[in-house]
Structure 1
Amino acid sequence: MSEKQKNATAYWKENLKYLIILLLVWFIVSFGCGILFREELNEFRLGGFKLGFWFAQQGSIYVFVILIFVYVRLMNKLDKKYGYDE
């Protein structure tokens, strides 16, 4: 296997690691906070709304948008690390 192929394989493995972690965070926030932990979170209020309801309606969307920016930042660093930046 050439050095270029090893570099590409390492890049892809690290990219998949980032994707899995970020999608897991999104799943925990959207499904966990909005559905599974709803009762516990509803004991708290945010802006007059129960926290479980807030996560189900808006919180998971905000987290998703934040995760997009985190992914872009991570990928820019990864591109520089493996020499794919232009």
Structure 2
Amino acid sequence: MNDHKQQMKKYWKQNIKTVLVLLSIWFIVSFGFGILLAEPLNAIKIGGYKLGFWFAQQGSIFTFVILIFVYVYKMNKLDEKFDVNEK
């Protein structure tokens, strides 16, 4: 039983680490690229739109959706690693 608790602590530690990394990526894209670096990125245009504007309006949303799929993938791998069964 004690071994099971240790395994679950490792599982949740890895889970929290994954969440923090993914949220950090989202923060960098949405706040960093969309607000802090908007002016330098506006020198680049994609499809007629300034890149800073694109990150502020669309980039953070696309990044968030992609990160959801990455999270699902990573959690499925983590569940397999720690043999966590759905109940």
TM superposition outliers: structure 1 runs of 4+ over 6 Å? none
CA distance in 2, matches of 1:30, 1:45: 18
Taking the TM superposition and a 5 Å limit, the aligned residue runs for 1:1-86 are: 2-86=2-86
CA contact (8 A) 1:44 1:51 kept: yes
The number of aligned residues is 86
Q: Using the alignment, how far apart are the partners of 1:77 and 1:64 within structure 2? A: 20
The two structures have a TM-score, normalised by structure 1, of 0.96
User: Pairwise CA RMSD of aligned residues?
Assistant: 1.0
Give the deviation of 1:70 after TM superposition: 0.2
* One-letter code aligned to 2:42: N
The alignment-based identity, stated in percent, is 59
Structure 2 spans left out of the alignment, 5+ residues: none
Aligned-pair CA distance for 1:85: 3.4
* Structure 1 residues without counterparts, runs of 5 or longer: none
Structure 2 counterpart of 1:82, one-letter code: F
Give the residue type in structure 1 aligned to 2:35: I
